[in-house]
């Protein structure tokens, strides 16, 4: 398949510090790439460089077949960008906001294209409602409609489902997969593990560095983690589990403690001896994407910390 994005050494510095540090990334056309990482990790900065909104300090590559350095203006014209915060006019109606967005993008046959977006995004019953009166989920739909009015080849979404209910999130992701099926390439940043698992591939960025890149299965397998479930026991058990040498993380899910650690043999040995002494049961289970990310974070260094290069 053709690469919609192919960059190497992508770097951006602010105040002498690299907030995006030599990132290599490739995304195939018509695929959904999930960007994950803690707040301040460089996800938004990376997205803005890829779509031409920020100048690249170092690195090279292409986006939609265009050079990210020389052709930033052309890339912007072929990209749709939905910001983390609602950025449309709250004192204008749904239809007025979309008409304004269409004018900004120079969309031909503007009225027909706005009507098409209203219908496709299920906004017909709210077309005359002020945007400021919409709930979070409906604001999200409106923002998404505005970002696809000019039929972009690349859609960039910055934490688009923050603060919306589970049904709205599911509906949103169904629409995103519909766009990808039509050939649109999508980059989406998210903190939700279930959303990451709906992406074709994921990239995990921490403190400006790319720590993992691939399918969910590849990222989890590459972490080298083993996991287990501990069942039974009373108060304080989770703290004693956390103290075991081979345990990196232990998290309670109701009456079950999910445990993860590097080295399956060491984890099994520690849990076998511990659970026999405690009179509780344990069994192996698959490590999760969240386990992998916490493991990756533990080995990374804050690029804004005192003394960081």
CATH of the domain at 247: 3.30.70
The answer to whether residues 250 and 309 touch, using CB atoms and an 8 Å cutoff, is: no
77 and 201 part of one domain:
yes
213 and 148 part of one domain:
yes
Residue 93: DSSP 8-state: B
Helical H segments across 105-236, by residue range: 110-120, 136-148, 166-181, 193-196, 216-222
175 and 108 part of one domain:
yes
198 and 251 part of one domain:
no
130 and 234 part of one domain:
no
Q: Which domain holds residue 186?
A: 3-219
In a domain, 56, yes or no: yes
160 and 239 part of one domain:
no
Q: How confident is the prediction along the chain (309 residues), in pLDDT tens digits per residue?
A: 689 999 999 999 998 889 999 999 999 999 999 999 888 888 889 988 988 889 999 999 999 999 999 999 999 999 999 988 888 899 999 999 999 999 998 999 899 999 999 999 999 999 999 999 998 889 989 999 999 999 999 999 988 887 788 888 898 899 999 999 999 999 999 888 889 999 999 999 988 999 999 999 999 999 999 999 999 878 889 999 999 999 999 999 988 999 999 888 999 999 999 999 999 999 999 999 999 989 988 866 665 554 444
**CATH number for the domain that contains residue 191:** 3.40.50.300
Q: What is the tally of structural domains in the chain? A: 2
Rounded to 10 degrees, the C-alpha dihedral 123/147/170/136 comes to -60
Q: CA 211, 215, 216, 217 torsion: positive or negative?
A: negative
Closest C-alpha among 298, 306, 259 to residue 38: 298
């Amino acid at each position: 398949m053709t690469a919609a994005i192919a960059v190497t050494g992508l770097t951006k510095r602010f105040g002498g510090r690299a907030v995006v540090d030599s990132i290599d990334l490739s995304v195939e056309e018509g695929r959904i790439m999930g960007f994950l990482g803690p707040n301040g990790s460089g996800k938004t900065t990376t997205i803005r460089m890829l779509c031409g909104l920020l100048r690249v300090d170092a690195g090279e590559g292409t986006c939609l077949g265009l050079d990210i350095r020389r052709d930033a203006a052309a890339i912007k014209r072929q990209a749709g960008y939905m910001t983390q915060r609602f950025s449309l006019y709250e004192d204008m109606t749904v239809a007025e906001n979309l008409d304004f967005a269409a004018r900004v993008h120079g969309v031909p046959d503007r009225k027909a294209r706005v009507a098409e977006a209203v219908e496709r995004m299920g906004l017909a019953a709210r077309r005359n409602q002020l945007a400021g009166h919409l709930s979070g989920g409906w604001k999200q739909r409106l923002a998404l409609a505005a970002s696809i009015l000019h039929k972009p080849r690349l859609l960039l979404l910055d934490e688009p489902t923050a603060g919306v209910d589970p049904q709205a999130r599911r509906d949103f992701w169904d629409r995103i997969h519909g766009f990808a099926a039509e050939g649109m390439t999508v980059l989406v940043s998210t903190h939700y593990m279930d959303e990451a698992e709906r992406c074709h591939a994921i990239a995990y960025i921490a403190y400006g560095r790319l720590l993992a890149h691939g399918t969910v299965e590849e990222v989890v397998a590459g972490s080298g983690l083993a996991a287990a479930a501990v069942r039974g026991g009373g108060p304080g058990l989770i703290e004693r589990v956390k103290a075991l040498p081979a345990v990196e993380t232990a998290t309670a899910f109701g009456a079950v403690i999910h445990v993860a650690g590097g080295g399956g043999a060491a984890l099994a040995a520690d849990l076998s001896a511990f659970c026999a002494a405690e009179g509780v049961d344990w069994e192996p289970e698959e490590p999760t994407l969240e386990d992998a990310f916490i493991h990756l974070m533990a080995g990374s260094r804050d690029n804004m910390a005192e003394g960081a290069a």
